[in-house]
Amino acid sequence: MPKTAYVRTKPHLNIGTMGHVDHGKTTLTAAITKVLAERGSGTFVPFDRIDRAPEEAARGITINISHVEYETDTRHYAHVDMPGHADYVKNMVTGAAQLDGAILVVSALDGIMPQTAEHVLLARQVGVNHIVVALNKADAGDEELTDLVELEVRELLTAHGYGGDSVPVVRVSGLRALEGDPRWTEAIGALLDAVDTYVPMPERYLDAPFLLPVENVLTITGRGTVVTGAVERGTVRVGDRVEVLGAAVDTVVTGLETFGKPMDEAQAGDNVALLLRGVPRDAVRRGHIVAAPDSVLPSRRFSAQVYVLSAREGGRTTPVSTGYRPQFYIRTADVVGDVDLGERAVARPGDTVTMTVELGREVPLEPGLGFAIREGGRTVGAGTVTAVVG
Ligand SMILES: Nc1nc2c(ncn2[C@@H]2O[C@H](COP(=O)(O)OP(=O)(O)OP(=O)(O)O)[C@@H](O)[C@H]2O)c(=O)[nH]1
Ligand SMILES: [Mg+2]
């Protein structure tokens, strides 16, 4: 039976759940789909369909980002459930790079924990401009303590430029909502209303040349290699020629789907799977870019303004100097780079500095692009490209 085509009836946005390990992101994601399924606008995705890898089930944590889709009265959403565990921040950054807005999940019992703060910082860097807070496990929390957690979260958001005073903070219980408790299914409704009204529809650059940062690569037996991700700008249709930057491959899009539904044209903001003609599975990786031919010139060198995280923020305890070689997280890519601090020579934790970076491989860069710097499994810096230097 042919699959039903995707029909665009509502504006589409990309959102997702982020926050510290075990604060309840996956439970909340499942609860959202359940509440909306009961309203008749989507399919319930149970917890074990979101955390479905054997290692995830065995360890009780999310490792890979996972996508679900749902609709509210006014919008269609692709929702990325991100891992909270410190070892999988890498995967979290990839998920966050696609978002128009995020739901920050904070356990009312635990308050702000290290990855709560790290995720807020990373979200800011990769260009997530709006955050709504879900104070989760409110079923088990003491009201006064929850008030304190709320204050603390608002302060954290303000410190990262999110205007913590006006950010919606909704007390929820993903677990009780999943069980069908009306008080808490209503709270999920309130959370979704906050997302609908607080996260604005971003400007979509439909007329720009097509560009999609690759989030994942799959093989469909008998059909070929498929890349997935959110379209950053432009549009693409079946039959269009594209190039894969990073892989140096020219190819043609032979199939286009969103959440298993075929579409004729994908546009900026859509979360899609592209079937690429004749591309070997091993040639394409997360971090590569699929773009209209000759529309972007990738480069290796750029100058940037960088904030070096203080030790208190989970950053380094010692200064960095010219010759430092950390990993740069740019869009969905993770690339090593050589740091040159010029005459300044050293940057201490807590400093904001300008630097020149030479990446280990070419990537499409442009002024204003945000990135994170990580080393040995932790985030040590946050920066913005100020100029591309050849
Ligand atoms: N009391 C209570 N427990 C909850 C609630 N939501 C989640 N939990 C429990 O918290 C634990 C962690 O839930 P998850 O949804 O896996 O947390 P997570 O944030 O997705 O964890 P990672 O993805 O590994 O970072 C589970 O035992 C849940 O049953 C809630 O609203 N109330
Ligand atoms: Mg999870």
> What residues act catalytically?
22, 25-26, 85
Percentage of the chain surpassing pLDDT 70? 99
175 lines ligand 1 (CB under 6 A): yes
Distance CA 49, CA 44 (A): 10
| 8 Å CB contact between 339 and 271 | no
pLDDT digits (tens, 9 = 90+) for 267-279: 999 999 999 999 9
The pLDDT of residue 221 is: 80
The pLDDT of residue 343 is: 87
**pTM (2 d.p.):** 0.93
Atom of ligand 1 nearest to the CA of 56: 24
Distance CA 164, CA 21 (A): 22
Three-state SS for 160? coil
Q: What is this model's ipTM?
A: 0.99
Q: Is 181 annotated as a binding residue?
A: no
pLDDT digits (tens, 9 = 90+) for 70-127: 999 999 999 999 999 999 998 999 899 889 999 999 999 999 999 999 999 999 988 8
Residue with the nearest Cα to atom 8 of ligand 1? 24
pLDDT at 265 over 80: yes
Which residue's structure tokens are 């807590």? 350
92 lines ligand 1 (CB under 6 A): no
pLDDT at 331 over 80: yes
pLDDT digits (tens, 9 = 90+) for 335-376: 999 999 998 779 999 999 999 999 999 999 999 999 999 999
258 lines ligand 1 (CB under 6 A): no
> Which residues of 32-172 form beta strands (DSSP E)?
66-71, 76-81, 102-107, 131-136, 169-171
136 lines ligand 1 (CB under 6 A): yes
pLDDT at 1 over 60: no
Q: Is 113 annotated as a binding residue?
A: no
Q: Is 137 annotated as a binding residue?
A: yes
As a whole number, the mean pLDDT across the chain is 94
Q: Is 367 annotated as a binding residue?
A: no
pLDDT band at 2 (very low <50, low <70, confident <90, very high): low
340 lines ligand 1 (CB under 6 A): no
Print burial letters for 20-31: b (CB count within 10 Å at least 16), e (below 16). bbbbbbbbbbbb
Percentage of the chain surpassing pLDDT 90? 87
Mean pLDDT value across residues 233-257: 95
Q: Which of 22, 90, 142, 188 most suits a substitution to test ligand 1, by most atoms within 8 Å of the C-beta?
A: 22
The pLDDT of residue 146 is: 97
pLDDT digits (tens, 9 = 90+) for 28-63: 999 999 999 999 888 999 999 999 999 999 999 999
pLDDT at 185 over 90: yes
The pLDDT of residue 126 is: 87
Strand 12-18, strand 289-291: pairing: unpaired
* DSSP single-letter state for residue 2: P
